[in-house]
Amino acid sequence: MQPTPEALDRLRAIGWPDDDTSRAALAAAQGSRLARVVGQHRSAYDVATQADEIIKVQPPLPWTRPRCPPENRAAVGDWVTLDEAGKNILAFLPRRSILKRGAAGEHHRQQLIAANVDHVLVVVGLDQDFNPRRIERYLVVIRASGADPVLVLTKADECEIVEDCIDLLIEVEESGVPIHAVNARDAASTAVLHPYLAAGHTVVLVGSSGAGKSTLTNTLLGREKMKTNTVRGNDSRGRHTTTSRVLTPLPQGGCLIDTPGMREVKFSGDEDIVDAFEDIEALASGCRFRDCVHGNEPGCAVRAAIEDDTLDEARFLHFLKLRGEVEAAVVTQAARRAEEALAKTAAHKRNKDKLGRR
Ligand SMILES: Nc1nc2c(ncn2[C@@H]2O[C@H](COP(=O)(O)OP(=O)(O)OP(=O)(O)O)[C@@H](O)[C@H]2O)c(=O)[nH]1
Ligand SMILES: [Mg+2]
Ligand SMILES: [Zn+2]
């Protein structure tokens, strides 16, 4: 199945990249129609077949089983193929990128935030939401996604120390992450984000509640599609106004996924801490021992850099903390996968026994 030129135009408007990889994926897929997941409900999906046509479709049966790991089901941003009637999803196409985190409380499962995005915009308010340590946490998660991080600092219009805040993000900036300070309510100001929103491109917005994700969505879209709400005066906290992930095609040609505010950025176990702390990794290449963990080993270049003030000690301590969390997440994820494999084998055996008795 390859789209006709007219169909291709319609697919471009919902973010179809039409590159070699996606064409090959489509050629290998079964199904009669290609659609993109724009919303996900308990038992159904909203998919778009073109910018102004959204239909409700049913997932394949295995996805509805409680044991089905979230990463095996479609997420918002995924490309899916539909059956002849256009009512059921057959499968999702291989992903270009997948943003996920450790799900809160739920048996160490992963939670998929968005699939097939090119950039992840970390939206942080220049009010009491501003916290460099939390930004580092987001970057660890994003580095594992296959998409590129961009930092969007909102409420620049109400902040008198924008430059000082950006100065606190020197390591982030030096690691190549673009930083934009904007007024999310003002279209002229948010125009700096248009380069991320060209046809065939998709971005996802992540950040705490009240950071301005939906405000940004509405301004870029040019109308009030998403509900927004004021933040609490004493601590700038939002009210968890957005409750589900929504993909919206934008007039700029690209697509944007708005998400609910995150209370916690938990690791899934797929992260590689080193990717997000390139400065520390570069220093570590000068350690005497290749497997130096920068504890008490002799000849540790990282500790030497802290001594002579070329590395901020607080950043190093945060690196150690996050490294510990990622390691713990790797262990729990391995345990969960083993448990799932066991459950699968047991179910398989039960089925065989049943058949044997017949
Ligand atoms: N002055 C100013 N206010 C902003 C800006 N961005 C967002 N706000 C305000 O901040 C409040 C929260 O914005 P929302 O867009 O609802 O925040 P959100 O990130 O979508 O929050 P959740 O949906 O709860 O996750 C609203 O009152 C917005 O008007 C900005 O750049 N400048
Ligand atoms: Mg919102
Ligand atoms: Zn070392």
Q: How far is the CA of 134 from the centre of ligand 3 (A)?
A: 24
**Which ligand 1 atom is at minimum distance from the Cα of 218?**
15
Contact between 53 and 86 under an 8 Å Cβ cutoff? The reply is no
Judge if the beta carbon of residue 155 lies within 6 A of ligand 1.
Answer: yes
Judge if the beta carbon of residue 210 lies within 6 A of ligand 1.
Answer: yes
Judge if the beta carbon of residue 240 lies within 6 A of ligand 1.
Answer: yes
CA–CA dist 274, 277 (Å, integer): 5
CA–CA dist 120, 139 (Å, integer): 9
Q: Domain 5-94 in CATH: superfamily?
A: Nucleic acid-binding proteins (2.40.50.140)
- Just give the CATH number of 114-258: 3.40.50.300
CA proximity to 180, closest of 167, 166, 168: 166
50: helix, coil or strand? Answer: strand
260: helix, coil or strand? Answer: coil
Judge if the beta carbon of residue 220 lies within 6 A of ligand 1.
Answer: no
Contact between 93 and 21 under an 8 Å Cβ cutoff? The reply is no
Q: How far is the CA of 258 from the centre of ligand 2 (A)?
A: 7
pLDDT at 108: 67
The best mutation among 138, 216, 228, 237 to test binding of ligand 1, ranked by most ligand atoms within 8 Å of the C-beta, falls on 228
pTM: 0.93
pLDDT at 138: 97
Average pLDDT per block of 10 residues along the chain, 358 residues long: 83 92 86 91 92 95 89 96 94 95 77 97 97 95 97 98 96 94 98 96 97 98 95 90 96 96 92 88 94 93 96 94 94 86 81 74
150: helix, coil or strand? Answer: strand
| Ligand in closest contact with the CA of 316 | 3
For atom 24 of ligand 1, which residue has the closest CA? Answer: 240
Contacts of 346 (CB under 8 A, 6+ apart): none
Judge if the beta carbon of residue 189 lies within 6 A of ligand 1.
Answer: no
Domain range list for the chain: 5-94, 114-258, 273-350
pLDDT at 324: 94
pLDDT at 107: 64
121: helix, coil or strand? Answer: strand
State the burial class of residue 124 (Cβ atoms within 10 Å of its Cβ: 0-12, 13-18, 19+): buried
Q: Go through the chain and tell me how many residues it has.
A: 358
pLDDT at 308: 95
The best mutation among 159, 189, 229, 245 to test binding of ligand 1, ranked by most ligand atoms within 8 Å of the C-beta, falls on 229
**Which ligand 1 atom is at minimum distance from the Cα of 227?**
16
Judge if the beta carbon of residue 77 lies within 6 A of ligand 1.
Answer: no
pLDDT at 67: 83
Give me 303's structure tokens: 């500790």
Edge-to-edge strand order for the sheet containing 246-249? 179-181, 148-154, 119-125, 202-206, 255-258, 246-249
Q: Domain 273-350 in CATH: superfamily?
A: Probable gtpase engc; domain 3 (1.10.40.50)
CA–CA dist 280, 263 (Å, integer): 28
Count of helix runs (H) and strand runs (E) in the chain: 12, 13
